[in-house]
Amino acid sequence: MTHVFTVTPNSPTGAEHTITIEVHPSREAMLEYLDAQFPEDGWRTPNEADLGTIYLCEDWLDVNTIAHEATHAAMHVYACDVLGIYSRAMRHIGGFNEDIAYLVGDLVGDVMTELYDLGLYAEQETKVDPVP
């Protein structure tokens, strides 16, 4: 079963956007779905409310992967909202920023591992800072 939910990240400009999260039961199931859904590289017309989807799979559900994919989404929100780039030429929560996504994913994963090992992180807490 695929789990689907939406999140509304804080935008630097205060604009409200949603990002859909899909968690597929396996990497294989996710790739089959994506191949059928986006046979030509996933191009789409972004809209200002729903900025796209993060695709995850249960067998790769770890802090590194979530931080990596969230970095793609954050950079997409930034490009659309702050820079005003709502264009078919821009990839859907694209992979054009892989280097920074891997860096953030690995950094967050390493920090979380250390915090967990020190007993300083036991369960999820969401702390929301107001947007300046």
Please give the Cα distance from 22 to 33 (Å, whole number): 11
pLDDT at 131: 42
pLDDT at 10: 84
94 versus 6: which is more confidently predicted? 6
Per-residue pLDDT reduced to its tens digit, 6-42: 999 888 888 888 888 999 999 999 999 988 887 665 5
Whether the pLDDT of residue 48 is over 60: the answer is no
DSSP 80-127: IIIS----TTS-TT-STTHHHHHHHHHHHHHHHHHHHHTT---S----
Whether the pLDDT of residue 78 is over 80: the answer is yes
**What is the average per-residue pLDDT within 80-100?**
70
| Torsions phi, psi for 32 (to 5 deg) | -60, -45
pLDDT at 111: 94
Please give the Cα distance from 65 to 101 (Å, whole number): 9
Give the H or E element holding residue 69.
helix 63-77
CA dihedral sign, ordered 67, 68, 69, 74: positive
User: Which amino acid would we find at residue 76?
Assistant: H
Per-residue pLDDT reduced to its tens digit, 111-124: 999 998 998 886 65
Identify the DSSP state of 51.
Answer: E
pLDDT at 109: 93
